[in-house]
C-alpha cells in the first residue's frame, strides 16, 4: 500500500476504528509507540523512566516520524516480546502486567504481542469501552490458572498482587482465609465454591468505581 | 450394563491435566455420559429414586429458612468434593464462558438474537417464588447435541447479517474477542449482503470519480469534524479531522470489504500528492492529540495520585464548564449589546486607575459593563443610518427595539434555568452511576476486584496503593470481627459523650463566627466609608475569609478527639461541619446586603455595592486559597522535612479543597445578577487555581492514605453544589427580583418597584399591541400568575419520584428472587452430581467386587 510517509493505510485505520474503541489519534499514537520498542530494544524506555510518560511518548513519536519509513505489513507482523511491553511506562508499575500481556497475546506461547493485540489491549482499557467488555477481561486477568473460574488459589494470588510483592507485606494465612471466605460468601451465588464469570460480572456491576479505575491512559 | 462407560473416559481422575483446555466438545460428552448413566440407573435404583425424592424435598423445603442450606452447602463442602466432581463442575457451561472461545461466541449469538427480537428481559410473570429454572431456557448451550464452535460461529454470522450496520458494528466492538477474530467475523457477515461489492465494482470502473466524490464529501464534511471527533473520542475536544480540507481522512461509512483493494485500485490514478498530504495530515492529527486541554496534566495527576485526587481536578473542570455555560448567554445578550451601545457617560470625573481596583472592584471599574449600575433602562436601537429610501429607518427602530431591562431579566433567568437543568441532570446521572440497586452488600469482593487503579504509572504511587489496599483489607477484616463482639456500655457512653461535646464545640465555633460577621457588618454600616477609601472596604471580606480559613483547622483539631470507626464517616462529618459554617456565614451576608444595605444606601446604587462586595469576597477568597496552599502545604512540608526529619508529606485534603470550590461557585451565582461578568472572573480564578494546585500537589503532597470511593464522593460533591449552593443562590436571587425595590438612580430597573415589574410592564404593552400576540398575556395570566400550574408540576414531580422508588423496590425484590433461584439451582446441581457420583462409585465397587470374585474364581482353579 501507499508506503511512503504513513505507516497505516487509510483502510486499515478505518477498520481499526470500527473494531476497537480507540480514536484515530490513539491508534496512531499506539502504532508509533509500539514500533519504537523493536527499534531501541534496551535504550529509550529505561533511559529516562522518571519523566512524564505521556509527553515522553509523544515527543519520541514526533521526532521519530519524519525519518522513519517502514511499511505497514512489516509493522503489523512484528511481535514485541513480553519484556519490552512490560517496560512500557504505562504498565511498569502495574502488578497485573504479566497477566494482562498473557491474556491479550495471541501467539502460541503467549509471550509476545503483535500490534493488533496491543490495540486490543488499549481498546479494552480505553475510556469508551463497555463495562461488559472491561469486566470480561478483568475476569480473565484475575483468572491466574486460566481455568475459567476464580477459585481459592486465584483469589489468594489476586490478593497477594494487590497487597504487594514482598513477603512481609502479605496478609497472614488466617487473614487470607477469612478474606476469601468473605468474598465467596458475598459473591458465590450458586455456592459451588468458585466464582464464575456471571457472578464476577454481577459483583462488578455493583461497583461504580470499576469502570473509572480499569483504564489505562495512553 | 456391560458396555464401557464414557464417564470414565471423560473424567480422568488425574489432577495434573489442568493445562489442557476443555472445549465445548467435552461439555457435550459430559452431558451424554450423564444421560447414559441416568438411563442405565433408572431401572435398577427404585429405592434410590425414592431416597432422591425425599432428599430433594428436604433440600427444597427449608430453602427459605436458610439454615438447612447453610448446612448443606458451604465452602467446606466445596473443598470436600472429589476431583471428579470438580472436573464435572469445571465443564459446566457457566464456567466455560470465562475461557473458551466457542462459549463466548455462543453467548454473543444469544445476545444478538435477543437484540434482534427486541426482548431485553425475560417475562417476570414466569418467575415463581422458589421456582427452579427450566433447562429449556438455555437450550442452545445445554442441548445434548451441543454445537461445535464452527456451527455456533456460522449461526452468529447469520445473526449478525440480519442486524443493521450500526448495530453490527456496535456488537462487534463489544465482543471480548481478538482483533483478527472480529475482523474475520465482520468480513463473513458482510460478504453476503452484496451492497459493498456493488460499491466496489462501481469504484473499479470509475475510480477517479469515486475518489473525487469522496474528497468532495470529506472537504464538505470537514466542518463537521468537531462533532465527529467528539463522538468518537467520548468527550474529546480535538477535532478528528482538523485538516479535512487538505488531507482526505477515511470516509464516515465503513470502507469496502477487502482492506487494501480500494487503495490499490486507486493508486495508478491518484497522484502522489494526496498520499503525502494524507501522511502529513495524520502526523498533525497525532500532534494535536497532545493539545487536548489538560490531558497530560490530568493523566499525570491520575498516574501519581490515583482517582481520588483526580476527582478534585475533574470537579474543577466541571465548574469551569458551568461558568462558561452561565457566561455565554450573558455575554451575548447583555454585556455585548450594552458594550456596543454604551449609555451616555456619567457627568462626574472619571477616577484614575490605581491598581487597588483589582482587589476592591470599585473606583474605575464601577461604571463599566462589570456591574449592574452601568446598564441602561431604555430600549437600545442601532443609530439611525440614513438609508437610500428615508422612511426605512424609522420603521426599523420601531419594529426591533432591544429592551434592555427585559433582556437583562430574561437572560439571567434563562442562564440560571439552563444551569439548573444541567445541574439536576448531571446529579441524577451521577447518582445513577454511583448508587446501584443492592450495592450495599459485598464490600470484600468489591474491594478485591475493583480497587486497583490501573491508571497509576509511578512505582512510588503503586507502592502507596499497595499499602492503602492492604490497610483497607485489614481494616475490613478487623471491622468484621469487631462487629461480632459487642462493645461495653461504658465505652459506648464515653464515645457518645465525646461526640456530643465535639459537636457542641463545633456548633459554638460556628455561632461565634456568625456573630462576629454580623457584628462586623453592623459596624461597617455604622461607619460608612466613601468609595475612594478602597482599602477600608476590604475589611469585611478579609474577616470573612479569615474565619473561613481558620475555622476548618479548629474543626480538624477537634475531630482528632473523636475517633470514628470508619474513615468515610469522618470525611462526611468534616464536610458537613465546614458546609454549615460557610452557608451560615453566607446567609448572614445575604441578610446584610438585602436587608440592611438596601436601607442604608438610599440614594446610591446598592446593586453596585453588592456586586463589588461579592467581587471582593471572590478575589480575597482566591488570595487566601493561595496563602493556604503556600503555608498549609509548602511550608508544612519544608518544616516536616527539614526539622522533623520525617519522610511523610502532607496529605492533599480533597474534601476541604472541594468545599472551597463550592463556596467560590456560590459567590459567583449570588453575584451574577449584580455583576454579570462575575462568571468570567470565576473562570480566570479556576484556571489559575488548576495550575497552582497542580504544582503544589506535585511538589508538596502525597496521595491520601484512606481508601476513597471516588464516584460516591463526586456524587456527594455535585449534590452539595446543587442543593445548598445553587438552591440558596436561586432563593436569594428570586427574593431580590420579586421583593426588593431596585435603586432609583442606576441600572435597567431604576423606575420600577421590583425587577419583576419589567416583565409585567412588557406584558401590558403587548396586550395593547394587538391580537396577534394575545397568547402571550394569556400565558402570563394563567401560567405565571396563577398558582395552579405550580401545584400541578410539583404533583407530577412527586408522582415520578414515587414511581421511581417503586421501580427500585421492585428491582430489589426481583434480584432477591433471582438470587434465590440461582442458589437453588446450584444446590440441585451439586446434589445431583453427588448422587451420580455415589451411584457410579457403588457400581464401580460392585464391579470391582465382581472382578475380585472372578479373579478369585480364576485363582481358585489354579489353586485346585
Closest CA to A27 of A45, A14, A40: A14
- All three cell numbers of B364, joined, read 474605575
Integer Cα distance of B669 and B614 in angstroms: 10
Give residue-wise pLDDT tens across range B359-390: 888 777 888 888 988 888 877 665 544 444 44
B292 three-state secondary structure: coil
**161-200 in chain A: CB under 8 A from chain B:** 161-164, 169, 171, 175, 178-179, 181-187, 189-194, 196-198, 200
d(CA B300, CA B451): 19
Residues linked to residue B379 through DSSP beta bridges, in sequence order: B403
Taken in order B86, B91, B96, B99, is the CA torsion positive or negative?
positive
Burial class (CB in 10 A: 0-12, 13-18, 19+), B22: buried
At B380 the three-state DSSP class reads: strand
Task: List the one residue out of B2, B42, B683, B48 whose CA is nearest residue B326.
Answer: B683
Q: Is the pLDDT of residue B17 over 60?
A: no
Give the pLDDT band of residue B211 (cuts 50, 70, 90).
very low
The answer to whether the Cβ–Cβ distance between A186 and B445 falls below 8 Å is yes
Tell me how far the alpha carbon of residue B403 is from its chain's centroid: 41
* Other Cβ atoms within 10 Å of B707 Cβ, number: 19
- Whether B326 and B679 have beta carbons less than 8 Å apart is answered as yes
Separation in Å, CA B828 to CA B37, B82, B86, B215: 17, 17, 15, 64
Distance from the Cα of B267 to chain A's closest Cα (Å) equals 8
A5 and B279: CB-CB below 8 Å? Answer: yes
Residue B740 contacts A, CB cutoff 8 Å: no
Dist. CA A58–CA A65, nearest whole Å: 11
Give pLDDT tens digits for B662-705.
999 999 999 999 999 999 999 999 999 999 999 999 888 877 77
Task: Please tell me which of the candidates A21, A54, A95 has its beta carbon nearest to residue B300.
Answer: A54
- Asked whether residue B266 carries a pLDDT value surpassing 50, the answer given is no
Among the partner residues B282, B296, B453, nearest to A54 by beta-carbon distance: B296
Among B64, B5, B155, B250, smallest CA distance to B817 is for B64
Please report the pLDDT score of residue B693 as a whole number.
93
User: Which residue has 437600545 as its cell numbers?
Assistant: B380
The region of weakest confidence among B112-126, B264-278, B300-314, B595-609 is: B264-278
| pLDDT band of B509, cuts 50, 70, 90 | very high
B338-347 contacts at long range (C-beta below 8 A, 24 or more positions apart)? B338/B369, B338/B374, B338/B375, B338/B376, B338/B380, B338/B404, B339/B369, B341/B380, B341/B381, B341/B382, B343/B374, B343/B375, B343/B376
User: Is residue B104 within 8 Å of B97, Cβ to Cβ?
Assistant: yes
Sign (positive or negative) of CA dihedral A19, A24, A30, A32: positive
Q: What are the tens digits of pLDDT across the range A86-119?
A: 877 788 888 898 889 888 888 888 888 888 888 8
Write down the pTM of the prediction. Answer: 0.71
Q: How many whole angstroms separate alpha carbon B528 and alpha carbon B375?
A: 26
Closest CA to B314 of B720, B701, B657, B625: B657
Q: How far apart are CA A102 and CA B758, in angstroms?
A: 70
Which residues, 6 or more positions from B408, have their beta carbon under 8 angstroms from its beta carbon?
Answer: B334, B375, B748, B749, B758
pLDDT band at B844 (very low <50, low <70, confident <90, very high): confident
Q: What CA–CA distance (Å, rounded) separates B758 from B169?
A: 55
**What is the spatial distance between Cα A92 and Cα A114, in angstroms, rounded to a whole number?**
19
C-alpha cell at A156: 489468594
Contact residues, A window 119-158, toward B, CB-based 8 Å cutoff: 119-120, 125, 127-128, 130, 132-133, 136-140, 142-143, 145-149, 155, 158
Q: Identify the top-confidence range among A18-22, B397-401, B703-707, B801-805.
A: B801-805
- Cell numbers standing for residue B15: 489432577
Q: How far is A67 from chain B (nearest CA, A)?
A: 13
**ipTM of this model?**
0.82
Q: CA of A104: how far to CAs of A2, B176, B801, in Å?
A: 29, 10, 45
Are B668 and B301 in contact by the 8 Å Cβ rule? The answer is no
- Using a CB–CB cutoff of 8 Å, tell me whether B201 touches chain A: no
Q: Does B372 or B303 have the greater pLDDT score?
A: B372
Of B99, B176, B240, the CB nearest to A24: B240
Query: Measured between CA atoms, how close is A83 to chain B, in angstroms?
Result: 17
**Contacting B residues, span 537-596, partner chain A, CB-CB under 8 Å:** none
Residue A25: the pLDDT is 77
The DSSP symbol for B332 reads: I
Amino acid at each position: 500500500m501507499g508506503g511512503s510517509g504513513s505507516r497505516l493505510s487509510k483502510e486499515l485505520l478505518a477498520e481499526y476504528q470500527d473494531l476497537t474503541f480507540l480514536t484515530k489519534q490513539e491508534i496512531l499514537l499506539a502504532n508509533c509507540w509500539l514500533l519504537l520498542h523493536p527499534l531501541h530494544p534496551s535504550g529509550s524506555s529505561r533511559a529516562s523512566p522518571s519523566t512524564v510518560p505521556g509527553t515522553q511518548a509523544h515527543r519520541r513519536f514526533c521526532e521519530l516520524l519524519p525519518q522513519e519509513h517502514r511499511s505497514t505489513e512489516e509493522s503489523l507482523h512484528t511481535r514485541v516480546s513480553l519484556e519490552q511491553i512490560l517496560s512500557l511506562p504505562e504498565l511498569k508499575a502495574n502488578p497485573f502486567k504479566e497477566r494482562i500481556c498473557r491474556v491479550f497475546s495471541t501467539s502460541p506461547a503467549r509471550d509476545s504481542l503483535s500490534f493488533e493485540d496491543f490495540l486490543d489491549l488499549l481498546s479494552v482499557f480505553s475510556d469508551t469501552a463497555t463495562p461488559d467488555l472491561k469486566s470480561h477481561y478483568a475476569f480473565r486477568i484475575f483468572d491466574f490458572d486460566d481455568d475459567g473460574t476464580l477459585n481459592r488459589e486465584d483469589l489468594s494470588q489476586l490478593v497477594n498482587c494487590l497487597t504487594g510483592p514482598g513477603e512481609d507485606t502479605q496478609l497472614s494465612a488466617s487473614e487470607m482465609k477469612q478474606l476469601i471466605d468473605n468474598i465467596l460468601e458475598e459473591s458465590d451465588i450458586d455456592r459451588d465454591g468458585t466464582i464464575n464469570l456471571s457472578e464476577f460480572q454481577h459483583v462488578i456491576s455493583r461497583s461504580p468505581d470499576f469502570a473509572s479505575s480499569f483504564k489505562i491512559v495512553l | 450394563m456391560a458396555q464401557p462407560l464414557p464417564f470414565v473416559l471423560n473424567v480422568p481422575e488425574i489432577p495434573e491435566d489442568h493445562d489442557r483446555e476443555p472445549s465445548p466438545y467435552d461439555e457435550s460428552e459430559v452431558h451424554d455420559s450423564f444421560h447414559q448413566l441416568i438411563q442405565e440407573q433408572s431401572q435398577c435404583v427404585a429405592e434410590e429414586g425414592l431416597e432422591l425424592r425425599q432428599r430433594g424435598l428436604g433440600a427444597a423445603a427449608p430453602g427459605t429458612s436458610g439454615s438447612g442450606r447453610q448446612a448443606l452447602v458451604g465452602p467446606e463442602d466445596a473443598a470436600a468434593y472429589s476431583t471428579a466432581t470438580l472436573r464435572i463442575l469445571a465443564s459446566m457451561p457457566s464456567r466455560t464462558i470465562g475461557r473458551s472461545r466457542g462459549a463466548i461466541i455462543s453467548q454473543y449469538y444469544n445476545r444478538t438474537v435477543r437484540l434482534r427480537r427486541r426482548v431485553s428481559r425475560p417475562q417476570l410473570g414466569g418467575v415463581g417464588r422458589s421456582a427452579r429454572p427450566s433447562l429449556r431456557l438455555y437450550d442452545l448451550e445445554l442441548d445434548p447435541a451441543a454445537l461445535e464452535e464452527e456451527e455456533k460461529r456460522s449461526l452468529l454470522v447469520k445473526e449478525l447479517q440480519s442486524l443493521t450496520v450500526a448495530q453490527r458494528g456496535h456488537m462487534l466492538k463489544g465482543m471480548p474477542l481478538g482483533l483478527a477474530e472480529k475482523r474475520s467475523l465482520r468480513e463473513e457477515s458482510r460478504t453476503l449482503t452484496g451492497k459493498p461489492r456493488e460499491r466496489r465494482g462501481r469504484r473499479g470502473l470509475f475510480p477517479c470519480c469515486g475518489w473525487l466524490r469522496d474528497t468532495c464529501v470529506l472537504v464538505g464534511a470537514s466542518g463537521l469534524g468537531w462533532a465527529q471527533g467528539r463522538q468518537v473520542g467520548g468527550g474529546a475536544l480535538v477535532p478528528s479531522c482538523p485538516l479535512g480540507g487538505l488531507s482526505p481522512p477515511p470516509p464516515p461509512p465503513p470502507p469496502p470489504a477487502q482492506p487494501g483493494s480500494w487503495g490499490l485500485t486507486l493508486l495508478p490514478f491518484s497522484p502522489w500528492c494526496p498520499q503525502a498530504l494524507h501522511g502529513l495530515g495524520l502526523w498533525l492529527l497525532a500532534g494535536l492529540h497532545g493539545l487536548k486541554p489538560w490531558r497530560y496534566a490530568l493523566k499525570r495527576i491520575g498516574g501519581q495520585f490515583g482517582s481520588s485526587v483526580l476527582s478534585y481536578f475533574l470537579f474543577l473542570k466541571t465548574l469551569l464548564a458551568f461558568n462558561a455555560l452561565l457566561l455565554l448567554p450573558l455575554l451575548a445578550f447583555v454585556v455585548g449589546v450594552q458594550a456596543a451601545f454604551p449609555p451616555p457617560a456619567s457627568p462626574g470625573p472619571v477616577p484614575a486607575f490605581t491598581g487597588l481596583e483589582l482587589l476592591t472592584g470599585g473606583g474605575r471599574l464601577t461604571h463599566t459593563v462589570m456591574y449592574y449600575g452601568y446598564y441602561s433602562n431604555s430600549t437600545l436601537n442601532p443609530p439611525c443610518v440614513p438609508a437610500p429610501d428615508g422612511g426605512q429607518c424609522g420603521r426599523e427602530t420601531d419594529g426591533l427595539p432591544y429592551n434592555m431591562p427585559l433582556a437583562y431579566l430574561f437572560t439571567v433567568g434563562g442562564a440560571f434555568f439552563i444551569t439548573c437543568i444541567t445541574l439536576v441532570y448531571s446529579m441524577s446521572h451521577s447518582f445513577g452511576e454511583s448508587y446501584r440497586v443492592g450495592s450495599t452488600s459485598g464490600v470484600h469482593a468489591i474491594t478485591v476486584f475493583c480497587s486497583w487503579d490501573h491508571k497509576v504509572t509511578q512505582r512510588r504511587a503503586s507502592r502507596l496503593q499497595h499499602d492503602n489496599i492492604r490497610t483497607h483489607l485489614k481494616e475490613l477484616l478487623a471491622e468484621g470481627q469487631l462487629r461480632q463482639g459487642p462493645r461495653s456500655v461504658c465505652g459506648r457512653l464515653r464515645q457518645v459523650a465525646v461526640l456530643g461535646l465535639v459537636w457542641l464545640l463545633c456548633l459554638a465555633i460556628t455561632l461565634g463566627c456568625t456573630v462576629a460577621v454580623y457584628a462586623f457588618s453592623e459596624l461597617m454600616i455604622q461607619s460608612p466609608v466613601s468609595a475612594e477609601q478602597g482599602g477600608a472596604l476590604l475589611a469585611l471580606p478579609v474577616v470573612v475569609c479569615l474565619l473561613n480559613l481558620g475555622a476548618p483547622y479548629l474543626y480538624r483539631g477537634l475531630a482528632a478527639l473523636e475517633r470514628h470507626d470508619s474513615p468515610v464517616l469522618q470525611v462526611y462529618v468534616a464536610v458537613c461541619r465546614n458546609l454549615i459554617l460557610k452557608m451560615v456565614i453566607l446567609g448572614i451576608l445575604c441578610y446584610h446586603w438585602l436587608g440592611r444595605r438596601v436601607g442604608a444606601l438610599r440614594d446610591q446604587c446598592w446593586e453596585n455595592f453588592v456586586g463589588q462586595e461579592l467581587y471582593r469576597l471572590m478575589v480575597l477568597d482566591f488570595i487566601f486559597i493561595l496563602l493556604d496552599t503556600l503555608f498549609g502545604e509548602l511550608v508544612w512540608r519544608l518544616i516536616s522535612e527539614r526539622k522533623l526529619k520525617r519522610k511523610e508529606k502532607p496529605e492533599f485534603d480533597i474534601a476541604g479543597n472541594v468545599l472551597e470550590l463550592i463556596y467560590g461557585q456560590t459567590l459567583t451565582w449570588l453575584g451574577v445578577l449584580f455583576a454579570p461578568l462575575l462568571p468570567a472572573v470565576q473562570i480566570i480564578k479556576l484556571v489559575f487555581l488548576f495550575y497552582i494546585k497542580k504544582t503544589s500537589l506535585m511538589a508538596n503532597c502525597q496521595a491520601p492514605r484512606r481508601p476513597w470511593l471516588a464516584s460516591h464522593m463526586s456524587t456527594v460533591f455535585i449534590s452539595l453544589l446543587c442543593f445548598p449552593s445553587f438552591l440558596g443562590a436561586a432563593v436569594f436571587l428570586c427574593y431580590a427580583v420579586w421583593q426588593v425595590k431596585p435603586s432609583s438612580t442606576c441600572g435597567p430597573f431604576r423606575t420600577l418597584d421590583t425587577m419583576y415589574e419589567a416583565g409585567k410592564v412588557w406584558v401590558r404593552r403587548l396586550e395593547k399591541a394587538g391580537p396577534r400576540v394575545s397568547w402571550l398575556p394569556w400565558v402570563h395570566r394563567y401560567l405565571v400568575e396563577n398558582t395552579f400550574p405550580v401545584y400541578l408540576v410539583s404533583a407530577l414531580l412527586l408522582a415520578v419520584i414515587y414511581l421511581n422508588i417503586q421501580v427500585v423496590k421492585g428491582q430489589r425484590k426481583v434480584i432477591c428472587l433471582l438470587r434465590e433461584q440461582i442458589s437453588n439451582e446450584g444446590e440441585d446441581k451439586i446434589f445431583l452430581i453427588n448422587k451420580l457420583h455415589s451411584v457410579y462409585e457403588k457400581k464401580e465397587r460392585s464391579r470391582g467386587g465382581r472382578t475380585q470374585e472372578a479373579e478369585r474364581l480364576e485363582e481358585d482353579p489354579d489353586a485346585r
